[in-house]
Amino acid sequence: MAPLFGLVYGYWAAANHRAGGPITTGNVVYGIVIAVIAAAVFYGLWAIAPRLTRELRALAWGSFAGIAFGFLYSLTDASVLRSIGNAAIIGGAVGAATFYRYYTTEDARGRHD
């Protein structure tokens, strides 16, 4: 899952970064670097998340989604405040959705039904 996420995210970041211009070597390297970093962070969170409480796990996934979205959105030359605002909305929605899922499928000790 992490490599696929990294590839899609890196491609999307490189496409936003070049803003419709020609594909250059620097743009390809930029996409590869972003893909590796995104996949590594995703994998790290995927590995650590099961050991966290449901509240911290939901906060971690919400933060990850908000930061990832905010970075991609900032590459479109949007204002910093607009990037932060949209990232906060996405992060809050993902955090709330994941908390709801964990709260309704786990017992108090974090075990699944």
pLDDT on residue 111: 67
Q: Are 87 and 70 in contact (CB under 8 A)?
A: yes
- What is the longest distance spanned by two Cα atoms in the chain? 54
What is the Cα–Cα distance from 112 to 30, expressed in whole angstroms? 40
pTM beyond 0.85: yes
What is the Cα–Cα distance from 7 to 12, expressed in whole angstroms? 9
Looking at the predicted structure, is the pLDDT value of residue 113 above 60?
Answer: no
What is the Cα–Cα distance from 2 to 25, expressed in whole angstroms? 24
Phi/psi of residue 33, each to 5°?
-65, -45
Looking at the predicted structure, is the pLDDT value of residue 65 above 90?
Answer: yes
Please write down the HEC assignment for all residues of 74-96: HCCCCCHHHHHHHHHHHHHHHHH
Looking at the predicted structure, is the pLDDT value of residue 20 above 90?
Answer: no
- Band of the pLDDT at 107, cuts 50, 70, 90? confident
Helix axes 54-74, 2-18, angle to 10 degrees: 30
3-state helix, strand, coil in the chain (%, to 5): 80, 0, 20
